[in-house]
Amino acid sequence: MAVNKKMPGIIIRDVVVVPGMTVNFSVIKKEAAKACEEAMHSEQLVFVAYQKEKQKLNDISSLYPIGMLATIKQINKLPDRSVQLVLDVKSRGKLVKALNDSFTEFSVREIKEDNDLDRFEKEARLRNLRELYLEYSMLNPKVPKVFDVLSRDVEDLNVAMDRVLNNVILPYEVKVGIVQIIDIKERFDKLLKVMTDELEVTRIRANILKMTQDKVSKSQREYFLREQLNSIKKELGEDSVSEEAQFMEELNALEASDEVKEKIKKEIVRLSSLNSAGSEASVERGYIETLLELPWDKVSADNTDIKHAEEVLERDHYGLEKVKERILEFLSVRALNSKGDSPIICLVGPPGTGKTSIARSIADALGKKYVRISLGGVRDEAEIRGHRRTYVGAMPGNIVAGLKQAGVKNPLVLLDEIDKTSADHKGDVASALLEVLDSEQNSKFRDHYVGIPIDLSEVLFIATANSASDIPGPLYDRMEIIEVSSYTANEKFHIAKEFLLKKQYEKNGLKSSQISINDAALKRIIESYTKEAGVRELERKIGEICRKAARDILENGTRKVNVSAKNLEEMLGRPKYRADSKNKKDEIGIVRGLAWTPVGGTTLSVEVNIMPGKGAMELTGQMGDVMKESALAGLSFIRSVASKYKIEPSFFEEHDIHIHIPEGAVPKDGPSAGITMATAVMSAITGTPVSRNLAMTGEITLRGRVLAVGGLKEKILAAKTAGIKTVLVPLENKADIEEISEEIKDGMELIYISSMKEVLEIALS
């Protein structure tokens, strides 16, 4: 009678092992690995159990009752703390029970397989099995041949069935089901039935495959017949020009180098060998059409007439002298050296200041084709470099598509909103643009779809951005930055009068004889109804007036609508904005600062209160981290020079200081309010009022040095609008001040300061 044995267990699924096999297993569970190591030093036996499909390992019912007993031949510990086993499968075993909840140890009873067939019956079954496996192996080239599996020296029916079961391709459940049968005759009958069914399925599959191959052969035959028919038609003079011939004609007329033509010719020859109705031919056809439409060596002649260019720029834009000057310089250089590198110009400025329209005017002035590529929100690198042709729906990138649209290799390409590109798992758009904008690389720009180097060195690239700080560093380094600053009220007035009025009249179907907006009304719109760096909102307000005038003309029969400052509220409603104005009197602890915003400059009133307390400092008004640090630096400087201003050392320990910037709902940040906050604190401590006609901007250090800041044009303009006459600016910004037009500086006293000592002497005198 067989005795139950305790031995470690390995649970497998999707794989069936049978006696006579040598297999490798990885054991991940620590308990199972430990049990196998212990077995290696004793009887070296392990039980291989089969798990049922689509069942979780909850209890013993999720395992098949019959498994395999195997001997551990080798055991190796792996770096991930699992154990690699080499097992020699010996015989079947019956699972009695699991000895722990982790299913790593089992109680098993070995099964002695019967072989009580007489000699003739055994030989008959062996021959049937050999013949069936022979036919099966002939129809399945992937399985071993019959001589390798059932050689003449195999006389044991159990061994023969195990070998066949190991080599035939059957589902896991079917194989395990055969393994579970103990009786040799019943197992043989089951295996024979499964093999017979599988053989029939294999025959049907072979017939289906043959029919498919016949269809393919038929398609090839039809292709050759069609080609012969085309040849016959050509001989008879009935031939219509084939697609390949049309492509060859276009290739001969193409302006391109020999290397490019040879590449396209190869693709046309390849297309002629493809089935015209197939998907591959469709992809190839689209690729050839793209290559033939690209302007490889086709260029347009630039207009090098500097006077004409100047006239166009002056006609389309008011002001912007620096931009116009740079474009005329470029044109002059191009007239003298036509083979020089084209510059990459980046226009940086607030929204609505005319950056995009400048690019179109430059194209008109130079006589270049104009292409605009919007980069705002583009995240996929393939938008620039194109998709590889292996992808379904592949297409060239926007750069190549722009050249294709322009039809020449030297257009003006506007890269709009270059500061708003982003990156994700599909690549970094800014990095892809490096090859486009680098003059050392773009002569051999490679689009993934085109696959042939494209020369971009003659393209005039102009980029636009709202903020230079948002442009990635490597891109910024490759471009020439030109600042397009905010417009003054006078500039807005001239732009509205000379450009916007005419544009909106035409857009709304009005004539100058039907509507009139006088100068006073325009100035009132600029001052009270708009607050921006550019002129977009101003144009919208003029458009609103035109729409109301159009309705009045149609409804009431008005012959002409006259808009003045007096009746402006009837058109646009009550004013939305009021200009910042200076304080009504000199006050203690209140100092006017200057700030830059995306829509222009503004003034900030910094207020400070001193209260009895314990030396705490309170900062309110939605200040950012940089502004808070400037306030702390300013306070540290004041404490370091307190004795010079006769401030008691104990003052800062006995009083609390509260710094507040009104309009608390608006976030504020930046270092340029440093000297303003320090001056306000000193004014509050010493009780000295600060002049209401004084404003200041500058960054402060711990030692009281005043550092340079940006946005000075907008800041000084804001001070002038508020009626402030004197402005303190850092000495380091003197060069920036000199570039500001006299129109803005007229009537303003600009005092250059380099230290807080100078600031306090002026502000507290």
Q: Read off the pLDDT of residues 56-80 as tens digits, 9 standing for 90 and up.
A: 877 788 888 899 898 888 888 887 7
Q: Which of 175, 409, 715, 720 is catalytic?
A: 715
DSSP 151: -
Task: Given the residues 672, 683, 691, 720, select the one marked as catalytic.
Answer: 672
- The two tokens of residue 534 are 């550019």
Rounded (5°) CA angle 80-81-84: 95
Active site (annotated) includes residue 672: yes
pLDDT score recorded for residue 730: 93
pLDDT score for 273: 74
pLDDT computed for residue 424 by the predictor: 66
Give the model's pLDDT for residue 429.
81
Sign of CA dihedral 314, 319, 320, 326: positive
Q: What is the pLDDT of residues 435-474, one digit of tens each?
A: 888 877 778 888 888 888 888 888 888 898 888 878 888 8
The two tokens of residue 318 are: 């008011």
Q: Which of 577, 670, 585 is nearest to 623 (CA)?
A: 670
Indicate the Cα dihedral angle 56, 62, 68, 69, nearest 10°. 90
Q: What 3-state DSSP class applies to 73?
A: strand
The residues pairing with 60 across neighbouring beta strands, listed in sequence order, are: none
pLDDT at 240 over 60: no
- In this predicted structure, the answer to whether residue 241 has a pLDDT above a threshold of 60 is no
What is the full DSSP assignment across 324-346?
HHHHHHHHHHHHH-TTSPPPEEE
Amino acid identity, position 660: H
**DSSP assignment letter at 615:** S
Backbone φ and ψ of 695, nearest 5°: -135, 160
pLDDT band at 476 (very low <50, low <70, confident <90, very high): confident
Give tens-digit pLDDT for 85-141: 888 888 888 888 888 877 878 888 888 877 777 888 888 888 888 888 888 888 887
Going along 280-419, which residue ranges are E strands?
A: 344-348, 370-374, 412-416
Instruction: Provide CB contacts within 8 A for 32, sequence distance 6+.
Output: 8, 9, 10, 102, 104
Q: Can you say whether residue 103 is alpha, beta or left, with left for phi > 0 and alpha for psi between -120 and 50 degrees? A: left
Question: Using an 8 Å Cβ cutoff, are 287 and 389 in contact?
Answer: yes
HSE value, Cβ hemisphere, 13 Å, CA-based, for 455: 15
Q: What's the mean pLDDT in 718-743? A: 85
Two structure tokens written together for 167: 């080599």
Q: Phi-psi category of 730—alpha, beta or left, where left has phi over 0 and alpha has psi -120 to 50?
A: beta
Among 7-21, 155-169, 572-586, the minimum mean pLDDT is found in 572-586
Decide if 715 is catalytic.
yes
Q: Give SS3 for 705.
A: strand
**Confidence category of residue 216, pLDDT binned at 50, 70, 90:** low
Of the pLDDT bands very low, low, confident and very high (cuts 50, 70, 90), residue 2 is low
How much is the pLDDT for 217?
64
Q: C-alpha angle 451/389/427, rounded to 5°?
A: 85
The mean pLDDT of the chain is 83
For residue 29, the Cα-to-chain-centroid distance in whole angstroms is: 43
pLDDT, tens digit, 9 for 90 and up, residues 5-44:
888 888 888 888 888 888 887 877 777 777 777 777 777 8
| Beta bridge mates, 699 | 707
pLDDT greater than 50 at residue 510: yes
Question: Which amino acid, residue 16?
Answer: V
pLDDT band at 576 (very low <50, low <70, confident <90, very high): confident
Q: Where are the beta strands (DSSP E) in 442-554?
A: 445-446, 453-454, 460-465, 480-483, 515-517
pLDDT in tens, 259-289: 888 888 888 888 877 776 677 778 888 888 8
In this structure, are strands 694-696 and 590-597 parallel, antiparallel, or unpaired?
Answer: parallel
Q: Quick check: 235 pLDDT over 80?
A: no
Tokens of 10: 């390995």
The answer to whether 383 and 424 are in contact (CB under 8 A) is: no
Question: Among 158, 163, 4, which residue's Cα sits nearest to residue 69?
Answer: 4
pLDDT at 658 over 90: yes
Q: What whole-number percentage of the chain has pLDDT above 70?
A: 93
Q: How far apart are CA 146 and CA 159, in angstroms?
A: 14
Return the axis-axis angle of helices 536-556 and 519-528, rounded to nearest 10°.
130
pLDDT digits (tens, 9 = 90+) for 589-610: 899 888 877 666 788 889 999 9
3-state secondary structure of 625: helix
Integer-rounded Cα radius of gyration of the chain:
43
